[in-house]
Amino acid sequence: MANSRSNSRRAFTREFKLAAVKELDSGKPAGYVARRLEIKPGLLYRWRRELKKHPTKAFSGQGNKMLADTREAELERKIGQLTMENDFLKKLLRTFENQQEADNGGRGYTRGSAKKASR
């Protein structure tokens, strides 16, 4: 069964391509750069060849603003990750509070009741 994504082609802005080639030329492995940008390594090499062959004319098309989309997707993933971590920590806190309540013989322990008990 064919992937719907394979039927459409993504277009990239000149800025995106220049940034990708610059990152590749900085010495980072093509596989790493390609995975981070969600493109194939061969595309990076083609962009680099095109840029070297025609520095001023390379990437003259319009393209989509993929650099912004990539950053937005990265931030959305980070928000999702932080939300999951927050939920996990809340659940862990409830578990500790329930364990502490059980250790206190069923007397509910809260920060406020600890202050009252120490008076």
Residues 97-107 pLDDT 10s? 999 988 887 66
The total number of structural domains in the chain stands at 2
Which residue do the tokens 């931030």 mark? 75
Question: Averaged over 62-90, what is the pLDDT?
Answer: 79
Give CA torsion, residues 80, 86, 88, 92, to 10 deg. Answer: 180
Same domain, 89 and 52: no
pLDDT of amino acid 107:
63
Domain extent at residue 95: 77-109
Tokens representing residue 2 in the block = 């064919």
Question: Averaged over 81-97, what is the pLDDT?
Answer: 94
Same domain, 57 and 102: no
In this structure, are residues 63 and 12 in contact, taking their beta carbons and an 8 Å threshold?
yes
